[in-house]
Amino acid sequence: MKKIFMILAVSFGFILVGCNVTVDTEETTKQTTTTKDNTSTTEETTTEETMDTTITGPVTISFWHAFGGTKEEILLELVTEFVEEYPQVTVELFSQGDYNGLRDKTIQSIVTGNTPTMLLAYPDHIADYLTGNGVVSLDSYINNSEIGFTQEEMDDFVPAYLQENRQFDGATYGLPFNKSTEVLIYNKTYFDTNGITVPQTWDEVKTISEQIHTDTNKWGFAYDSSANLFITLTRQWGGQYTGANGELLFNNPQTIEMLDYYYDQHEAGLFTIPAEWEQNYASEPFKNQEVYMTVGSTAGIKYNVPANGAFEIGVAPIPQKDLDNKAVIQQGTNISIMSNATDQEKLAAWLLTKHLTSKESTISWAEQTGYLPVRISALEDADYQDFLNNPSDEEKYVALAEKAAFEQVSYMFYDPAFTGSSNARNEVEMVVGNVLFGGITPETALEDAIWNLEG
Please say whether the beta carbons of 34 and 58 come within 8 A. Answer: yes
**Whether residues 269 and 233 fall in one domain:** yes
* Beta strand extents in 150-287 (DSSP E only): 175-187, 219-223, 271-272
Q: Bridge-partner residues for 91, per DSSP?
A: 33, 61
**Whether residues 157 and 223 fall in one domain:** no
Q: Bridge-partner residues for 13, per DSSP?
A: 10
Please say whether the beta carbons of 296 and 224 come within 8 A. Answer: yes
Please say whether the beta carbons of 335 and 357 come within 8 A. Answer: yes
- Residue 308 CB-half CA count within 13 A: 2
Instruction: Among 345, 364, 389, give the residue marking a domain's end.
Output: 389
pLDDT the model gives residue 49:
60
SS3 state of residue 419: coil
Burial zone of 97 (CB within 10 Å; 0-12 exposed, 13-18 middle, 19+ buried): middle
SS3 state of residue 275: helix
Helix axes 359-369, 396-406, angle to 10 degrees: 110
**Whether residues 64 and 22 fall in one domain:** yes
Domain extent, residue 242, equals: 180-330+400-454
Assess if residue 37 is contained within a domain: yes
Tell me the pLDDT tens digit for each residue of 340-390. 999 999 999 999 999 999 999 999 999 999 999 999 999 999 999 999 999
End-to-end CA distance of the chain: 58
Give how many domains the chain has, as a whole number: 2
**Whether residues 98 and 162 fall in one domain:** yes
Dist CA 270 CA 208 (whole Å)? 9
Q: For the whole prediction, is pTM greater than 0.75?
A: yes
pLDDT the model gives residue 42:
32
Instruction: Among 368, 389, 410, give the residue marking a domain's end.
Output: 389
**Whether residues 350 and 438 fall in one domain:** no
**Whether residues 419 and 373 fall in one domain:** no
**Whether residues 431 and 358 fall in one domain:** no
Assess if residue 394 is contained within a domain: no
Q: Which amino acid is at 372?
A: L
**Whether residues 353 and 250 fall in one domain:** no
pLDDT the model gives residue 455:
78
Q: What is the CATH number of the domain that holds 229?
A: 3.40.190.10
Please say whether the beta carbons of 60 and 39 come within 8 A. Answer: no
**Whether residues 68 and 41 fall in one domain:** yes
Dist CA 39 CA 392 (whole Å)? 48
Pairing of β 89-95 and β 175-187: unpaired
Assess if residue 263 is contained within a domain: yes
Assess if residue 395 is contained within a domain: no
Assess if residue 1 is contained within a domain: no
Q: Which amino acid is at 324?
A: D
Instruction: Among 389, 411, 432, give the residue marking a domain's end.
Output: 389
**Whether residues 362 and 408 fall in one domain:** no
CA distances from 332 to 17, 124, 325 (A): 30, 11, 23
H or E stretch at 379: helix 376-380
**Whether residues 132 and 200 fall in one domain:** no
Assess if residue 48 is contained within a domain: yes
pLDDT the model gives residue 25:
41
H or E stretch at 223: strand 219-223
**Whether residues 196 and 207 fall in one domain:** yes
CB count within 10 Å of CB 62 equals 24
The vertex-377 CA angle with 376 and 378, nearest 5°, equals 90
pLDDT the model gives residue 48:
60
Dist CA 374 CA 299 (whole Å)? 14
Low-confidence ranges of the chain (pLDDT < 70): 1-49
